[in-house]
Amino acid sequence: MAEAENLPHLLSWHSVPRPDYVGGNEVRLLRGGDELFPAQAAAIAAAHHEVWLGTYIFHHDSAGQALLTQLKAVAARGVRVRVVVDGFGSKASLPWLQRELAGSHVALAIFRPIDRWWRWFQPGQLRRLHQKLCVVDGEVGFVGGINIIDDRMDLNHGATELPRLDYAVGLRGPLVQPMEQALRAVWTRAWLGRDFGEELLALVRSPMPVARLRRLVNRLRMPRLRRGEQTLQDLPPVCAAFVLRDNLRQRRTIERAYVEAIRAANESVDLITPYFYPGHAFRRALRDAARRGVRVRLLLQGKVDYRIAAMAAHALYAELLGQGVQVFEYLPAFLHAKVGVVDEHWATVGSSNIDPLSLLLNLEANVIVADADFARSVAQEFEAALAVSRQVAAADDTGLRGVLRRGLVAWVAYVYLRVAGSTGRY
């Protein structure tokens, strides 16, 4: 009976693209801006041809100023620099960004700006650019959940004593190529075609340097995982996939990657996310894993930044705890990491939360790494965070109060998704 009920959902997964794994990558886990920003700065300083950067928040603080100064400097010596920021996430910083970049060689594109009141009524304004990506010379890439803002600064709560918990991944290898393609696409889309013809002419008139062309060809020749042809073990290490969530073909690719990894888990599933309100398939995968003896642990916010988001997560506590899922809340500082590790051989780091905004609306980007050493490094970070967290022993909203809260959260999520134009069961 249960299989019959799940059949329509199982069939719907068939049309969702799977992660495209490729071998031969170098990957490095980076904790917070304290590790990401220096690594990113070193890569940008060494740039020869071009720098692509996309982010939700580009804040006008010391971290933002340092990066902006460096971007202008490399652009001044002939490096092609393209930056795209979200019109909502970076709204407060846009006057500063535009003023600082005026007259420079850095091209700034704004994804869905809301600088006029009537822009709020344009279709799709609730779908934001939430990716955090940087690619240098098509060789070095960075992907994760870290915005361009100091780790000890919160936009709603001001300066904090301890840095927020967040992660990114530094990459070299063939996986950088799809990252660059994604950045090019979203930058051009944000540019609204204003200089599309100019960009096309530049590509035609300025042939790609021979050395870079060779590197690109070599990357395309790298072994990739094709259905029915290879297993992950056939690919050279490190094996990884770059996964997007967009509003075109890859609407639920990140969600499917999570759900299939959880369904295949034998020993453990550890997830970190600040905003947690997954759909039916995701919750079912977590419950089923816990029931078959897999240790399932969720690390969520203990220090709340958005009350409605915390209410949404709390509404699911009773359901999850009742099925054996362990829930923890991170206490020392704000939590912003979006990380998962399964059986210490599958790990993901990226921008996608496990909530309706990330899974069904926003443009998101994650990297999935199928490598035991990398997964162990993520698992170690998870254990360290867990050591300073509080385990939730029981839900505090049982009875009528809990029913009303869950009903309210579900209704708000339903209305928001419908207003945003999302379709399908969640």
pLDDT one-digit tens code per residue, 272-326: 999 999 988 999 999 999 999 999 999 999 998 877 778 888 888 888 999 999 9
* Among 117-126, 213-222, 367-376, 407-416, the least confident range: 213-222
320 with 415, same domain: the answer is yes
214 with 257, same domain: the answer is no
Query: By percentage, how much of the chain surpasses pLDDT 70?
Result: 78
Residues of the domain holding 256 = 241-419
Q: Residue 154 pLDDT more than 60?
A: yes
With respect to residue 6, please indicate whether it lies within any of the assigned structural domains: no
H or E segment and range at residue 327: strand 326-330
257 with 112, same domain: the answer is no
User: Could you give the residue ranges of the DSSP H alpha helices within 77-151?
Assistant: 94-101
* Among 97-101, 211-215, 264-268, the least confident range: 211-215
In three-state secondary structure terms, 68 is helix
With respect to residue 412, please indicate whether it lies within any of the assigned structural domains: yes
With respect to residue 233, please indicate whether it lies within any of the assigned structural domains: no
Distances from the Cα of 332 to the Cαs of 24, 118, 161, 329, 390, in angstroms?
Answer: 37, 41, 9, 10, 10
Tell me the CATH number at 46.
3.30.870.10
411 with 352, same domain: the answer is yes
307 with 357, same domain: the answer is yes
168 with 301, same domain: the answer is no
With respect to residue 293, please indicate whether it lies within any of the assigned structural domains: yes
The tens digit of pLDDT for each residue in 35-84 reads 999 999 999 999 999 999 999 999 999 999 999 999 999 999 999 999 99
248 with 353, same domain: the answer is yes
216 with 245, same domain: the answer is no
144 with 249, same domain: the answer is no
Q: Please give the Cα distance from 125 to 133 (Å, whole number).
A: 21
Predicted confidence band of residue 10 (pLDDT cuts 50, 70, 90): very low
- Identify the domain boundary among 176, 192, 221: 221
Q: Please give the Cα distance from 332 to 251 (Å, whole number).
A: 34
Q: Which amino acid, 187?
A: W
With respect to residue 5, please indicate whether it lies within any of the assigned structural domains: no
In three-state secondary structure terms, 329 is strand
- Identify the domain boundary among 221, 251, 272: 221
Distances from the Cα of 365 to the Cαs of 169, 238, 286, 388, in angstroms?
Answer: 12, 19, 22, 28
Q: Please give the Cα distance from 375 to 387 (Å, whole number).
A: 18
With respect to residue 179, please indicate whether it lies within any of the assigned structural domains: yes
Structural domains of the chain, count: 2
More confident call, 381 vs 233: 381
Q: Sign of the CA dihedral 223, 225, 227, 228?
A: positive
In 3D space, the residue among 350, 395, 296, 405 whose CA is nearest the CA of residue 30 turns out to be 350
With respect to residue 132, please indicate whether it lies within any of the assigned structural domains: yes
Active site residues: 130, 132, 137, 336, 338, 343
With respect to residue 124, please indicate whether it lies within any of the assigned structural domains: yes
Q: Please give the Cα distance from 353 to 84 (Å, whole number).
A: 21
343 with 204, same domain: the answer is no
Q: Please tell me the predicted confidence (pLDDT) of residue 325.
A: 96
57 with 178, same domain: the answer is yes
Predicted confidence band of residue 399 (pLDDT cuts 50, 70, 90): low
- Say if residue 238 is preceded by a cis peptide, omega within 30 of 0: yes
- Answer for the pair 299, 271: CB distance below 8 angstroms, yes or no: yes
In three-state secondary structure terms, 418 is helix
> Kindly report the CA angle at 382 between 379 and 387, in degrees rounded to 5?
130
Q: Residue 248 pLDDT more than 80?
A: no
In 3D space, the residue among 339, 334, 335, 336 whose CA is nearest the CA of residue 366 turns out to be 339
- Global pTM reads 0.86
Pairing of strands 50-55, 133-136: antiparallel
212 with 256, same domain: the answer is no
Question: Rounded mean pLDDT of 89-104?
Answer: 95
* Among 73-77, 119-123, 197-201, the least confident range: 197-201
